[in-house]
Structure 1
Amino acid sequence: MSPRPSAMLPTILALTVAVLAVSSSAPLIVYAAAPALAIAFFRNAAAAVVLAPVVGVTRRQELTKLGWRGVAACALAGVALAGHFGTWVPSAKFTTIAAASALVATQPVWQGLIALAQGRRLPRVVWLGIAVAVAGAVVATGSDFTASGRAFVGDLLALAGGMMGAVYTALGERARATTSTTTYTAICYGACSLVLLVVCLAGGVHLHGYPAAAWLAILAMTAGPQLLGHSMFNYALRRVAATTVSVLLLLEVPGAALLGWLWLGQTPRTDELPGLGLLVLGVAIVVLGARRLVQLPPNPPDGA
């Protein structure tokens, strides 16, 4: 028996808030007058600071039982997460908001290929989705290559972000088998922020001197995509299948493009739209086709 519409209302509201939250990520990155790597560091560090006291108070026994191996597994996923943020956040500064959001959304495609490398057979429909997504990515990045070398670099960074997001999820899948979401996330964000801090210091990235608006944007990224988006998607999973949530996450692409247009006046180029459309369609096919193979995680790191 399906739930009554009134019972589903909180879930619908939660999904709406989650999509809006993750859709705001790329526009906020572009808006913030701060180096991309610094943005990546501060949003993860702030999230870790918020979660650490919660874990210290409510998960103390779990931390004790976890041991160094469990902590190391969570931290290793955090290193991969640093690779995700360290590539995707800069991509939004290089290419268009629509392209960065769509190309990083290829994470389920990379997730399927990782499953193949682990010895699992991919259904034909998944291969079809991968082919469509790859074709879309080629068309989209090809149009950027002819239009701007900087945009093409941004496209490659966004693709790398999607790939690292899949690695992060694959590593996190094992760690979360014996760790609560709160503890795992706190350790993961902490390790991620430490890696990004080292990268920022080694690269001479300025970590201060930003205008107040940039700090507000970073706080908004932490509260919105980083914390609220994940929380609302996890809440919705109580009543909605993970596959459905994964497909709904693709609404981040048009959502981010719409926010970028309304707020920042950034209109997607007409020559990149066909490729981005094919890309999103391909990812949707992969997500739907892979539901019997492996439950693709519903909340990728970014929009995470």
Structure 2
Amino acid sequence: MNKPSSRVNGSVVALTVAVLAVSSSAPLIAFAAAPALAIAFWRNFLATVALTPITYGPRRSEIRGASRRSVLFGVLAGVALAAHFATWMPSVQLGSVATATALVATQPVWQGLIALVQGRRPSAAGWAGIVLAVAGAAWATGADIGVSGQAVLADVLALFGAIFAAAYTALGEQARTTLSTTTYTWICYGVCAVLLLIVCLVSGVQLGGYDAQTWAAILALVIGAQLLGHSMFNYALQRTSATTVSVLILLEVPGAALLAWLWLGQTPRAAALPGLALLLLGVAVVILGAARANRPVVDPVLTD
């Protein structure tokens, strides 16, 4: 008798924890006294280490039996994920948490455009959402032009981060046709960590010597946004529609902005707020439009 109620309650708790976990990502990046690329490397490397016992334990046979095609798409997804982190995470340190988080949330918009290239036309609602989101992004970026060139650069990097996130999702859709989420994630994080390590070494980015607070922030990123957030969203997807989860992920934007305000003293710029609100509305319309058209909703597993 109580099973449906307990499942609903479990999903609510899981989604609440997941949104809180991913909302902490940008504020933690901004707080950490370490280069953004180094933080990106450590969060992916440590996550890979944490997933290795699971992947090479119960799922060892899956890796051995995986097709070359699936592994190839998993590797390519890892390359796109590295590009995502290498653009979005610096944007958080260069600009404001609120704007960077909102702009990277345009991932479903770019995903819709990728689907168009693949021959799947967005619905009328999808096109309307794309227009709204692009207008909102232009408004928010325009508001930053009067602030500084660094703020505009941060906005551009965040948009590229969203584009690479959409590419990561599109490639991941191909890999996950035969790979489990855990194995696929382990491949992506591993490839991403190796590429980011190479970039850090070539560019001379400092990978150590941080204070205790910075290491604590990096660990919190790994446990929170990287592992706990993903796990809770995956748990909720077993009981909640992908559309609902995708829309709820947008709560990361006000959540991150609130944390940045209370913790870091970052007050969102008033001139950018209407644009950010328009952007989020557009993204929500894109997601709902895709659902009504009975098309795959953007993979809600990817979080920042």
| TM-score, scaled to structure 1 | 0.97
**1:159 aligned partner:** 159
Q: Which residue of 2 aligns with 1:294?
A: 295
Alignment check: 8 A CA contact 2:15 2:233 kept: yes
Instruction: Show the 5 A alignment for 1:46-61.
Output: 46-61=46-61
Pairing 1:109–2:109 present = yes
Equivalent residue number for residue 78 of structure 2? 78
Contact 2:78 2:190 in 1 (8 A): yes
CA contact (8 A) 1:28 1:221 kept: yes
- What is the aligned partner in structure 1 of residue 121 from structure 2? 121
Matching residue of 1:244: 244
Give 1:295's aligned amino acid.
P
Relative to structure 1, the CA distance from residue 300 to residue 64 in structure 2 (aligned partners, 3 Å threshold; closer, same or farther) is closer
Task: After TM superposition, give the deviation of residue 300 of structure 1 in Å.
Answer: 5.0
Distance in 2 of aligned mates of 1:182 and 1:171? 16
Matched, 1:149 2:144: no
- Per the alignment, residue 28 of structure 2 pairs with 28
Match of 1:99 in 2: 99
- Gap regions ≥5 residues in structure 1: none
1:203-242 deviations in Å (ceiling 9; x for gaps):
1101111111111100100000001001101100111100
Matched residue of 1:16: which SS?
A: helix
Shift in Å, 1:67: 4.4
Tell me if the contact between 1:78 and 1:190 (Cα under 8 Å) persists in the aligned partners. Answer: yes
> Are 2:259 and 1:285 equivalent residues in the alignment?
no
- Supply the distance in 1 between the matched residues of 2:249 and 2:207 (Cα, whole angstroms): 31
Partner of 2:12: 12
Deviates more, 1:49-58 or 1:294-303: 294-303
SS in 2 for 1:301: coil
List alignment gaps of at least 5 residues for structure 2.
Answer: none
Contact 1:34/1:214 (8 A) holds in 2? yes
2:66 alignment partner, SS class: helix
Identity value in percent: 61
Residues in 2 aligned to 1:262 and 1:64: alpha-carbon distance in whole angstroms: 48
Q: 1:261 is matched with which residue?
A: 261
Separation in structure 2 between the aligned mates of residue 69 and residue 132 of structure 1, nearest angstrom: 37
- Report the Cα distance in structure 1 between the residues aligned to 2:157 and 2:125, rounded to whole angstroms: 27
Q: Contact 1:134 / 1:279 at 8 angstroms: preserved in 2? A: yes
Q: Would the aligned equivalents of 2:229 and 2:303 in 1 still touch at CA under 8 Å?
A: no
Cα pair 2:70 2:174 within 8 Å, conserved: no
Matched residues in 1 for 2:222 and 2:295: separation? Answer: 29
C-alpha distance in 1 between matches for 2:199 and 2:4: 50
SS in 2 for 1:58: coil
Alignment partner, residue 198 of structure 1: 198
TM-score norm. by structure 2 comes to 0.97
Rounded Cα–Cα distance in structure 2 between residues aligned with 1:68 and 1:121: 30
Q: Deviations over 1:115-169 (max 9, x none)?
A: 0000112111111000000100000000001111111100000000000000000
Q: Distance in 1 between matches of 2:300 and 2:211?
A: 31
Give the Cα–Cα distance (whole angstroms) in 2 for the partners of residues 139 and 124 of structure 1: 23
- Cα RMSD between the aligned structures? 1.5
Deviation digits for residues 44-74 of structure 1 (CA, Å, limit 9, x no counterpart): 0000011111110111111111144432221
Shifted more, 77-86 versus 290-299: the winner is 290-299
The answer to whether the 8 A contact 1:85-1:302 is kept is no
| 2:268 aligned partner, one-letter code | P
Equivalent pair of 1:165/1:300 in contact (CA under 8 Å): no
